[in-house]
Amino acid sequence: MPEARLDRRDLLRSAAVGAAATGLAAGTLAGPAAPAGAAGRPAPAARDRSRSAAGAAATFRWFGTAGWRIDIGTRTVLVDPYLSRYRTGLFEGAMDLATPLTVDTATVDQHVGRPETVLVTHSHWDHFNDVPHIAATTGARVLGTMTTYQLGLAAGIPSGQLGLFKGGEVLDFGDYTVEVVASLHSRNAAYSIGIPGLRLSRPPKPATVGDLPEGDTLAYQLTVRNGPAVFFMGASDFVERNVTGLRPDIAMVAMAASTATHEYLPRLLDALGHPAIVVPVHWDNFETPLSNPPPVAPADRPRLAAMVDTIRKASPRSRIVLPEYLTSYTFG
């Protein structure tokens, strides 16, 4: 049976309030409307979005996968920064766990700026690979799970630059706060996790993709002072009770690789209070060069189309934005 044709224009046209409504091409998104409340649930009180001396404008740039650069005034935060994008065989169905870890230092250095904080959702290579280099060259603090902490030590990050989260922490950085959410990694079609494992003590220096296990998963809600609250996922599963009540204005939502998680998107969007803007992430082929339009592997095209369709049905008042690489978006 021939595969259904799908490209970004089809997806954007299919989103009832897609790129045209949000100014995607211009890199500016209109301020979030009041989020739609779930049936029988009151809508949250509107946050004060007025800019003042106490608030700083924020821009968001997608690195591909679940990676983001957030610039808040003169301060920079990274989430799961992975820019090296080398081939492991994953998208050909023949992943080689012995693939050496490689850092494209020129590309990483060109795009990460001078971050003060790196938030790591979990320790797979497509989330952690570039983090030790970034920590070494910028002095950024690296925050994540115990596994991320131990792998960071093994990769040469000084302990003073590493922070350990379990979930539930709410940290104040002045211009922004970060709430840490204990979360879950995606499930594959076999109801399992790729490269599972924990590191509870310092291992040898990681050298291959297989040396970077998942090691538990976190999500983060970053709230800009007098700006939006933004929810970041690094994998397509979650603990419903942990995200209920967060009510972000914008949610960066990972695409699922299987249907193993029951009602993933409807449950997630309902628990989050139907964010005004939903940004699908982790749908691109991240083993190809970093150039626009972002490539989608053939097997992932129907999954991405289904994701957009499900978001439209489950949260019809949410705007759907498919980002492009390294484009500055302002949500304000």
* For the chain, domain boundaries: 56-301
- Cα-to-chain-centroid distance, residue 204: 28
270/145 Cα distance (integer angstroms): 27
> pLDDT tens-digit profile of 292-324?
999 999 999 999 999 999 999 999 999 999 999
Share of the chain above pLDDT 90, in %: 70
Task: Check pLDDT > 90 for residue 11.
Answer: no
Residue with more model confidence, 199 or 265: 265
The yes-or-no verdict on residue 234 having pLDDT over 80 is yes
Instruction: Give CA angle at 76 (74, 77), nearest 5°.
Output: 155
In the chain, % of residues over pLDDT 70? 79
Q: What are phi and psi of 275, to 5 degrees?
A: -55, 150
Q: How confident is the model at residue 203 (pLDDT cuts 50, 70, 90)?
A: confident
pLDDT in tens, 171-198: 999 999 999 999 888 766 665 667 767 6
CATH number 3.60.15.10 given to 56-301: yes
Contact call for residues 59 and 328 (beta carbons, < 8 A)? yes
Cβ count near 97 (within 10 Å): 14
Mean pLDDT, the chain, whole residue set: 84
Give the DSSP letter of residue 97: T
Q: Is 22's pLDDT higher than 80?
A: no
Do strands 141-144 and 162-164 pair parallel, antiparallel, or not at all (unpaired)? parallel
pLDDT band at 236 (very low <50, low <70, confident <90, very high): confident
Phi, psi of 161 (to 5 degrees): -100, 0
Max Cα–Cα distance, the chain, nearest Å: 59
Residue 153 has phi, psi (to 5 degrees) of -60, -45
